[in-house]
Chain A
Amino acid sequence: MAPEAILKILQETFPDEVTEVMPEGVHPHAVVRPDRWHDIALFLRDDERLGFDWLRCISGVDHIEDKLLTAVYDLHATGKPDTPGAMWHVRNEIAIKVHVDRDNAHIPSVADVWPTADWHEREAYDLLGIIFDGHPDPRRILCCDDWVGHPLRKDYEFPLEYHGIPAVTEYGQTRPQH
């Protein structure tokens, strides 16, 4: 299905939650509100026309000027072939962007909808500080357990030392250059 058709179905079913659609370009996506994101995710997965069963990636982005954190969900719908032993194909392909407030970043977790989201959401929490409500295991995954701060935020200050090991960067630079 073309991206326009997919986004039309989404807009008709959830007219209040979908704030923006962008069917053209290399990355067609829709922007939805975080409040009912879990219901939207279930709809995306279970609807027969859409059938998005493969969550490819959750990317977190820090838009510091707009004071927003964004989680971008890239989805695929796999199509089984009619004859056994033939190639599978892509039925649908779309991306969903969810914007949340930078100071109060809560998004409902979709780890029960797509089990692969479990680790992706932990990574988004670890590196950006987006809190996923209802996640079965909300801990840091990549950085140390007692790490302070969320490193991929644009205003992150590099630590000067960690448990006695000094952290030296070029010319003692610790502030990011954004």
Chain B
Amino acid sequence: MSWLENRFEDNLIITSLDWAINWARRSSIWPLTFGIACCAIEMMATGASRFDIDRFGAGAYRPTPRQADLMIVAGTVTYKMASRIVRLYNQMPEPKWVMAMGACTIGGGPYFKHGYHVVKGVDLVVPVDVYVPGCPPRPEALLEGLMRLQDKIRRQTFARQPVEAATSA
């Protein structure tokens, strides 16, 4: 889609096309199977039959980052794991989103003090789109985070944007 972006001014055709593409993108967000710690179990419970993330279109977990749209970082990120997360993020093709699930990924969580090997928040490593608090967040909270992400995707547009500074990981 990058060849289409930033070429045209906002008009009726672009907004309709925007609406269609965003609807397609937000209704089929395919997450990466990337569970690190306890939050991964709640992510698995969200994928199971009671909370069923598949009704949002997000049930097709991909094992490889090359086919995934969303990286749900579920669990504490350590310094040893940080370089692998960056590598996984770089391997994902655009458009990609990152959800920081759980208190550990937001700001270190219970390991904030005295945790010498814990990265205090995964946004020090990759850019994050949605933060889902909790330790671990309930499956309903994770679904709320997914719906917030869907709202964010709904607002995206590929009309010509004013130039903004690039954010780097």
- In the complex they form, do A and B come into direct contact, defined as C-beta atoms under 8 angstroms apart? yes
Interface residues of B in 115-151 (CB under 8 A from A): 115-117, 119-120, 124-125
CB <8 Å contact, A169 and B79: no
Whether A103 is near chain B, meaning CB under 8 Å from some CB there, is no
CB <8 Å contact, B79 and A144: yes
CB <8 Å contact, A165 and B113: no
Whether A163 is near chain B, meaning CB under 8 Å from some CB there, is yes
CB <8 Å contact, B112 and A165: no
Q: Is the interface of B mostly helix, strand, loop or mixed?
A: loop
- Name which of B116, B120, B124 has the most chain A CB atoms within 10 A of its CB: B116
Q: Which residues of B contact A156 (CB under 8 A)?
A: 116
| 0/1 interface trace, chain A 138-163, chain B, CB 8 Å (1 if under) | 00001110000001000010110011
A143–B80 CA distance with the chains assembled, in angstroms: 7
Whether B83 is near chain A, meaning CB under 8 Å from some CB there, is yes
Which chain A residue shows the least CB distance to B113?
A170
CB <8 Å contact, A168 and B120: yes
Whether A64 is near chain B, meaning CB under 8 Å from some CB there, is no
Whether B114 is near chain A, meaning CB under 8 Å from some CB there, is yes
Which chain A residue shows the least CB distance to B114?
A169
Whether A2 is near chain B, meaning CB under 8 Å from some CB there, is no
A-B contact pairs, 24 of them (CB 8 A): A142-B117, A143-B117, A144-B79, A144-B80, A144-B117, A151-B116, A156-B116, A158-B116, A159-B116, A162-B79, A163-B79, A163-B83, A165-B79, A165-B119, A165-B124, A165-B125, A166-B124, A167-B120, A168-B108, A168-B120, A169-B113, A169-B115, A169-B120, A170-B112
**What is the interface of chain A, defined by CB distance below 8 A to chain B?**
142-144, 151, 156, 158-159, 162-163, 165-170, 173
**What is the interface of chain B, defined by CB distance below 8 A to chain A?**
79-80, 82-83, 108, 112-117, 119-120, 124-125
Q: A163-B83, A169-B113, A173-B113 are in contact. List 10 more A-B contacts (CB 8 A).
A: A142-B117, A143-B80, A151-B116, A163-B79, A165-B82, A165-B124, A165-B125, A166-B124, A169-B112, A170-B113
